Amino acid sequence: MRDAELAALAQAGDREAFGELVRRYAAQARRVARAVLGHAEDADDAAQDGFLAALRHLGRYDPHRPFGPWLMRIVANAATDRLRRRRVRAAEPIPQAMAAADAPPDREADRRAFHEALRRALARLPERQRIAVVLFDVEGYTHGEIAEVLGIPVGTVRSHVFHARRALRSALAAWRDWKEDVT
Amino acid sequence: MTQGSPFDHQPDAELGAALREALAAEGEPAFVSRVLESATRMGLGSGRGTWWWVLETWARAGVAAALLLAAGATIWFNKASSRAQEATLEEVFLATAEMVAPSFPAAAASAPTFDRVLALSLEP
């Protein structure tokens, strides 16, 4: 069943239809929220806020347009709101170090360290760049769809993706250099 | 990871895969259940969307429209009746004269005398 049909059923109160939409977009929503917030549990809270806000506002969804960008806009806003509240509380500063100096030598630990380095590099980017690069390179959204999600011009999205990629690539190159020096 | 440009329309598969893994979260079924539980607490699936809920919604709109219509009709009626009460003395006399006067000039072959007009006007 198409997203728009599921959305119509969910709006009419069909729990199963809403459940199917959540299942379809859960992974994507959690990744986008995590790109904004960094912290996995906060990201899940934000993704949940996003799904519930979407449920409340399903009447505003235009069934002729794709559901994903509409939902991701809500999720990204929920994550950004949560990030602002967290900043106000001045909790948990983002660590600046690229990787821990005592990274264990086994492969699984390497993979974790690599992911940690990537998340830290992502965390240093401005919010919109984070969302743009994740939606473009991970979720496969077009520049136009991302522009819709972020409410900014397509040209700005291109610029965000370009700068985010450049920063992430150089951060990862630095991490790899460091790794080679250590081993 | 390839070097891109702002005009690059293609996703960077390698960077994308790395980010996907880095941002992946565990426990998706638990997350879905949690969202559905919250949605249920919000009222999802508790009568909303059933035929009687839809009818109730329509009925609410219908009652509101009927109330609005009744209020409009009442205001219009009040205005109309107050306008009738505010008719000038001249209008009342004119209306009365029109009711009384046509009986004789139309029936008579010649113009009525003053006495006749006065007599007709005073008749009960």
pLDDT band of residue A100 (cuts 50, 70, 90) is: very low
Contact B31 A48 (CB under 8 A): yes
Instruction: Quote the CA–CA distance of B100 and B108 in Å, as a whole number.
Output: 15
Q: ipTM value, please give it.
A: 0.81
- Cα torsion A93, A94, A98, A99: sign: positive
- Nearest chain A Cα distance for residue B42, angstroms: 9
Q: What is the mean pLDDT of chain A?
A: 87
The residue-averaged pLDDT of A101-117 equals: 72
Tracing tokens 């198409």 back to the chain, one arrives at: A2
pLDDT band of residue A97 (cuts 50, 70, 90) is: very low
For A157, nearest residue in chain B (alpha carbons): B6
Tracing tokens 């995590």 back to the chain, one arrives at: A34
- Please, are residues A130 and A164 in contact by the beta-carbon 8 Å criterion? yes
pTM of the entire predicted model: 0.67
- Nearest chain B Cα distance for residue A23, angstroms: 6
Q: What angle do CA B54, B58, B61 make, to 5 degrees?
A: 145
Count of C-beta atoms within a 10 Å radius of residue A32? 30
